[in-house]
Amino acid sequence: MGKLQLIIALIVAAFSLFSYFGSSSVNQITGEKQYLNLTPKEEVALGLQSAPQMAAQMGGLTQDARARQLVSAVGAKVVAQSVAAKSGYPFKFHVLADPRTVNAFALPGGQIFITMALLSRLETEGQLAGVLGHEVGHVIARHSAEHMAKEQLTNGLTGAFAMGTGSMSGAQIAQVVGQMRMLSYGREDELESDRLGLRLMAEAGYDPRALVRVMQILEKASGGSRTPEWQSSHPIPANRISQINDVIAKAFPGGVPAGLTQ
């Protein structure tokens, strides 16, 4: 029975690896080789299907017409005047009524949300462009589809490991390792979206240094208390600020041009 379990575990692991590595494509925007199990059309469909439910879970969309118009206008500018326009995704920007949860997020295919709690804390249009550019970055980098494929691989391999060990402790170890791996994927995605967001907002005429202030606002909103980075899906703000400053210095070795919107 033990030998049979091991054989089955190896088959499951091999199938998981084959399924993952057999679905590679090159991202036309980032140039990155990715392993995905969704097409762009499927991403768009998934995002459109999920958007109403996500909005309902966070108090629905705001009735503040000025907030809606501002977010839509800035989001449209970030997309239209940057490389994001070449992605082909039908971006749409939503403002959630939630007055307490400081958050913004993107669904696959271009549905982007920001809460009133976060929007009300932003001080300038450039900061809003930084938030929305970051979320657009998630979409064009296809992070949701990439994450789903990685999660499927991780589940397959951890399941195979648990099956091969034939013990509850083995299954628990596999589960913890899998969870930590998925959290690190999340941190890597956030840092990549910061880099992309800087590029997009600068191409659209916004001062990329505004994103530094966004990180400070997010840190203040958290009250300074958070879980250790290795247990979190997001890097700590201090690390993100350090990377943002490095990216800006490399992109503008002669200094950020004057006249960009703050």
Per-range mean pLDDT, top range of 63-67, 155-159, 186-190: 63-67
Widest CA span in the chain: 72
Q: Which residue has the tokens 């966070």?
A: 58
**pTM given for the model:** 0.82
How far is residue 61 from each of residues 55, 174, 180, measured CA to CA in Å? 6, 40, 33
Whether pLDDT at 88 is above 90:
yes
Q: Compute the distance between CA of residue 219 and CA of residue 20 in angstroms, rounded to an integer.
A: 36
Q: Known catalytic residue: 42? A: no
Q: Directed axis angle between helix 168-203 and helix 65-80, to 10°? A: 80
Q: Confirm if 40 and 28 have CB atoms less than 8 A apart.
A: no
Residue-level pLDDT at 111: 94
How far is residue 14 from each of residues 17, 18, 157, 161, measured CA to CA in Å? 5, 6, 9, 12
Q: Which residues, listed in sequence order, are joined to residue 105 by a DSSP beta bridge? A: 113
Per-range mean pLDDT, top range of 13-27, 127-141, 215-229: 127-141
* Catalytic residue (choose from 32, 42, 123, 135): 135
- Taking all residues of the chain, what is their mean pLDDT, rounded to a whole number? 83
Encode pLDDT of 115-161 as tens digits. Answer: 999 999 999 999 999 999 999 999 999 998 887 877 776 666 666 65
The share of the chain scoring above pLDDT 70, in percent, equals: 75
Residue-level pLDDT at 188: 85
Whether pLDDT at 113 is above 80:
yes
Whether pLDDT at 181 is above 50:
no
Whether pLDDT at 166 is above 80:
no
Residue-level pLDDT at 4: 67
Q: Identify the CA nearest to 91 among candidates 57, 31, 43.
A: 43
